[in-house]
Chain A
Amino acid sequence: QKEVEQDPGPLSVPEGAIVSLNCTYSNSAFQYFMWYRQYSRKGPELLMYTYSSGNKEDGRFTAQVDKSSKYISLFIRDSQPSDSATYLCAMTRGTGFQKLVFGTGTRLLVSP
């Protein structure tokens, strides 16, 4: 079993839709949870991070962490064609330990 599971997609939505991207994980030691956006043939770009459980909002993006269920989500409101990319979740244990464990990424396609 992989430490982090993520549906690879693709997930196709029309412009303006609310997008929900999710990851599950098995290691209860994970404390920091990140979402990265990766355009084709480019390096990942950090979108949001969350420490422990809870919600965090940044513009059109909301990250949720439910540690009891080992489940994290990224919501994108009013999706735009420019949001079309692969979204990777990543997580790590804690301060001073910077090894990131990534999901496979979900490819998102937002059509005009």
Chain B
Amino acid sequence: GAVVSQHPSWVICKSGTSVKIECRSLDFQATTMFWYRQFPKQSLMLMATSNEGSKATYEQGVEKDKFLINHASLTLSTLTVTSAHPEDSSFYICSASSGQGAIYEQYFGPGTRLTVT
């Protein structure tokens, strides 16, 4: 089956620093990757959609200068949280799609727990 990995799985950083999270599709080419944020006991909220080689499309209310997304290859997308603050502490999950399957064929990574102190 399709496997998506994320690194790191857990990161703690100090307020004001930047953190990069990687999302990789291990056994398929991901033309589209999605980044979600999940707060405790809340639903996954889509932050942005990225297509390989193009600028990401951000959802309303998501600061594109704060959450930098790069999808430079068909197997790797990165999310950089710049100048992180405690309110950015959350569970960040990526998903990937080959673009050739059905609409529900998004494969999710295991998530990255970010804690900003």
Residue A42 contacts which of B44, B97, B106, B110 (CB distance < 8 angstroms)? B110
Who on chain A is nearest to B10 by CB? Answer: A41
Query: Hey, which chain B residues are within 8 Å of A88, CB to CB?
Result: 43-44
Interface secondary structure of B, over-half rule = strand
* Beyond known contacts A46-B105, A92-B103, A92-B104: 17 more, CB 8 A cutoff: A4-B43, A34-B104, A41-B91, A41-B111, A41-B113, A43-B6, A43-B110, A43-B111, A44-B93, A49-B102, A88-B44, A96-B103, A97-B103, A98-B106, A100-B34, A102-B44, A105-B43
- By the criterion of a CB under 8 Å from any partner CB, how many residues of chain B are at the interface? 25
Q: How far is the CA of A98 from the CA of B34 in the complex (A)?
A: 10
Query: Hey, which chain B residues are within 8 Å of A32, CB to CB?
Result: 103-104
Question: Contact: A43 with B4, CB < 8 Å?
Answer: yes
Q: How far is the CA of A42 from the CA of B44 in the complex (A)?
A: 12
A94 at the interface (CB under 8 A from B): yes
Question: Contact: B108 with A44, CB < 8 Å?
Answer: yes
Who on chain A is nearest to B107 by CB? Answer: A46
Query: Hey, which chain A residues are within 8 Å of B110, CB to CB?
Result: 41-43
Q: How far is the CA of A12 from the CA of B104 in the complex (A)?
A: 29
CB A107 to nearest CB in B, in angstroms, measures 9
A111 at the interface (CB under 8 A from B): no
Q: How far is the CA of A24 from the CA of B82 in the complex (A)?
A: 36
Known: A88-B43, A103-B43, A105-B43. A46 touches B111 (CB 8 A): no
Query: Hey, which chain A residues are within 8 Å of B109, CB to CB?
Result: 43
B42 at the interface (CB under 8 A from A): yes
Q: How far is the CA of A46 from the CA of B107 in the complex (A)?
A: 8
Q: How far is the CA of A98 from the CA of B100 in the complex (A)?
A: 12
